[in-house]
Amino acid sequence: MTSLKFGTSGLRGLVTELVGLPTYAHVRAFCAMLREDGVTGEVLIGRDLRSSSPLIAAQCAQAVADAGLAPIDCGAVPTPALALAAMSAGSPAIMVTGSHIPDDRNGLKFYRAEGEIDKRDEQRILALSAALGLSAAPDVSVTPPSRDVLAGYVARYARFFGRSLEGMTVGVYEHSSVGRDVIREVLSALGATPVSLGRSDRFIPVDTEALRPEDSELAACWAAEQKLDAIVSTDGDADRPLVADEAGLFLRGDLVGALTARFLGADAIVTPVTSNSALDRPGLFARVVRTRVGSPYVIAGMADVKKDGARIVIGFEANGGVLLGSAVTRGGKTLAALPTRDALLPILSTLSLARETSQPLSAIAAGARFAIALSNRLQEIPQERTAGLIARLDADDAAFRQQAFAAHGGVAARDRSDGLRLTLGSGSTVHFRASGNAPELRVYVEAPDRAQAERLMQEYLAFAAAQTQAG
């Protein structure tokens, strides 16, 4: 049984199961789909900094060339920079990235000229891959021409934000993010002083939705050692942001998304069910649409609200990635839509909001009055075990479910939009779902205060571990 599957954002799996024929076959199938739809010409190819990405990108280029299209090597670039270049050129693209998952895994993210492929496209690629009947991948013999796609990405934000960060000092947690140098360049262009922190030559799987304890400890130490207005970072392919306040405390991704929507004046937001319940508070946004987890669902939701007449549409996920669903004009400057996850827009919007309001990020975060929400994961949990736990908790026989949550008032309501989200009698929530990108069980909790949230998380991580290990 292979680990390869389309998840919440592209094809992901073990490197050992992706390199060679699987990569070649999926890319050939993607190109076959494009050809069926009348697409010819260039296919842009980018990659992140994990160790397997150069080889997989070369195999992608070979497959594109063998399909009769023209591969273009865009090098190591942020996913949103590649997407912007592809959409601007009217060309499809392939990004080689496993995002936040460990270095022994990787993936492929496919773009049409209009943006990310959707779930229907994923099924067509799988069907075409099977129909091609390929038995082996050829050796890499093609050397595609290269193209710089970073300049346009930097210029996009330098033009729109101007010198909005003048006088700020911002730490950049670089680790192994493919966007680390671009972030420093843009911060400098906007008037900030970037401070390089934690650069690594080996790949570090930073997950913005389930931070490692050492990431939080590093940020707190850096903030204590020097005066910083904020610390920013991204996941591996720079489509999800990390923003920490002046004390090194990370803001949740959905809060960063909400602050971005506030700064840009959104009248509609689209966000998954895992995002904070405070977003539904009356008067915060004119319209809030909830979706399943994954950028394809958020993109579909953004398209729907635009059809319904929304002017400024912002999509974001609990992991922080922001999708700009419509053009935005602010201060006489217009930022074109970019309907794919982007880390740089929320980083710059959040920092600009702090600079504009003359408030520290900690005060802005406190003023948002979000419920205390935490997320974490159990790794190496097969999806069938997560599904088994969810099915048992959602079964018609309520005895097991009520017993599991009796200490918190039992279960008052269930939401099956994505996994199982349980509202407890105490008013807190616990949400279980399988990751779409890796064999992980995700756990999300909300509670009135941090101590309660941390207790809930500890309790139900242990509960989930015991249930899934029991099989």
Q: Which of 9, 53, 91, 99 is catalytic?
A: 99
Task: Judge whether 53 and 95 are in contact, CB under 8 Å.
Answer: no
99 is catalytic: yes
Which candidate, 277, 209, 234, places its Cα nearest to that of 440? 209
Task: Judge whether 106 and 56 are in contact, CB under 8 Å.
Answer: yes
**Count of other CB atoms within 10 angstroms of residue 158:** 16
Task: Judge whether 286 and 268 are in contact, CB under 8 Å.
Answer: yes
Burial class (CB within 10 angstroms; exposed 0-12, middle 13-18, buried 19+) of 211 = middle
Which candidate, 220, 324, 208, 295, places its Cα nearest to that of 255? 208
DSSP string of 50-90, one letter each residue:
STTHHHHHHHHHHHHHHTTSEEEEEEE--HHHHHHHHHHHT
Q: Which two tokens stand for residue 386?
A: 């997560």
Rounded CA-CA distance 338/205 in Å is 25
Q: Which two tokens stand for residue 16?
A: 């050992």
Reported as type and span, the H/E element at residue 322 is strand 322-324
DSSP annotation of 395? S
CA 179 to chain centre: 14
Cβ-Cβ contacts under 8 Å for 172 (sequence gap 6 or more): 180, 183, 184, 187, 194, 195, 196, 197, 231, 232, 233
Rounded CA-CA distance 398/247 in Å is 44
Which candidate, 345, 340, 339, 317, places its Cα nearest to that of 326? 339
Contacts 24+ apart (CB under 8 A), 301-304: 301/270, 302/270, 302/326, 302/339
Rounded CA-CA distance 455/77 in Å is 40
Rounded CA-CA distance 252/374 in Å is 8
Task: Judge whether 32 and 128 are in contact, CB under 8 Å.
Answer: yes
List residues with catalytic annotation: 99
